Amino acid sequence: MDAKEILKTADEEGVRFLRLQFTDILGVLKNVEIPRSQFEKALNNEIMFDGSSIQGFTRIEESDMLLYPDLETFQVNPWSNPDGSKVARLICDVYMPDGTPFEGCPRTILKRQVERADKLGYKMVCGPEAEFFLFTRDEYGDPMAATHDVGGYFDLTPVDRGEECRRDIVIVLEAMGFEVEAAHHEVAPGQHEIDFKYAPAVECADNVATFKFVVKKVAQDHGLHATFMPKPIFGVNGSGMHVHQSLLSADGKNSFYDPDGDWQLSKLALDYIGGILKHAAAFVAVTNPLVNSYKRLVPGYEAPVNVAWSEKNRSPLVRVPAKRGMSTRCEVRVPDPACNPYLAFAVMLACGLDGIDNELTAPKPVDKNIFTMSQREKSRLKISQLPANLSEALDYLEKDKVVQAALGDHVYSHYLESKRQEWADYISQVHEWETEHYLTTY
């Protein structure tokens, strides 16, 4: 779609406002909203904003930045304003005033890794499975950490009271061009999952950002609160965002598939998986970005804590689903939905490409349930553990040049500073668990 087509569609659809969307380095969706009179300027890359107010962008003395909309992302929201007018959106890349790409733009960082893969003759495609919780609100409309149901995995009404909300989310997603493949209740009460079709990496990251916005908006319309917090409730499963990924060749064939290879996987696939395994301890600082993320990554709740891969079980960090041919892929099970999808996809792709560049062929798969293994057996199989908390993950990040290079100097330094401060704030707090266990004992 070009600029003329966008303007024509906007007028035909009664679009009164246009949201120019982008994300900060933490993955929080931002936007500059403009009225119809400014649409032409926006499509000509002339809308400027104050980057110094955005997490991880620029200093106050160099704050002016430009939004370059990706015209292919134009979408009219499938709901109307009270006056009947509509709002549309364009997803943007962030540029400097001199017309050069801003090195701290997460979307640009992912594009850089996609271009690197393209030069090698490959295109990354991925399909995420983002889980979320639906919670109730109190009489004042404030969210509570109380679920709306007592359903379980794949449960159906009347147990699953979130079905109506989930169905409306699917309707809105489809109206916005998503091909939704499945929607169901997850393991924990109040927990849900909606899966949509795989796409090229940048488009997929755009879809994740849109998906999270739609889920929160529709939940609010239903009087509920949707959260992508990884572990909002103690004692039940947390929310993950498993990312299925593979590389396609220039002629569109799946480069991970080799009918004559071990496990019908190509050497390229095994090298890619090897890169993922080698750098996992560092890239989880990006794919699992919160203090809370590591309360999901504990034994007993189906979340991976072991650096290994398997064909047949879900306990390792990487799983290769059974389907082959064009469906051949690896499923990286560690990310959670709180991550910035652009940065998460960028670092995983960079690590996979490092595995290919340096032939970091994955070891044999571990098809036994790792959760039931002794530490001695894990050591014998050279199965390591993921970092136990955000601070440990940041320690690994500081030692991993591949992940640092994928982020770039600007985002790496700002991200590290922000997350170190987050950890310092957390450990300085006195938590309820401490008071319960220590107040009367000592």
Where in the sequence numbering do the catalytic residues fall? 50, 129, 131, 186, 193, 242, 314, 331, 333
Dmax over CA atoms of the chain, in Å, equals 72
Pairing status of strand 75-80 against strand 86-95: antiparallel
Q: Cis link prior to 232 (omega < 30° from 0)?
A: no
Give the residue from 212, 242, 249 showing the smallest Cα distance to 348. Answer: 242
Answer whether 135's CB lies under 8 Å from 146's CB.
yes
The whole-angstrom separation of Cα 303 and Cα 316 is 9
Helix (H, G, I), strand (E, B), or coil: what is residue 317?
Answer: strand
* Alpha helical stretches, state H, 185-225: 201-221
Both tokens assigned to 442: 């000592």
Strands 316-319 and 306-310 come out as: parallel
Q: Give CA–CA dist 276/71, Å, rounded.
A: 33
Q: Which residues contact 282 (CB under 8 A, 6 or more apart)?
A: 393, 396, 397, 399, 400, 402, 403
Compute the Cα dihedral for 412, 415, 421, 424 and give only its sign. negative
CA distance 47 to 69: 10
> Smallest Cα–Cα separation from 133: which of 227, 253, 22?
227
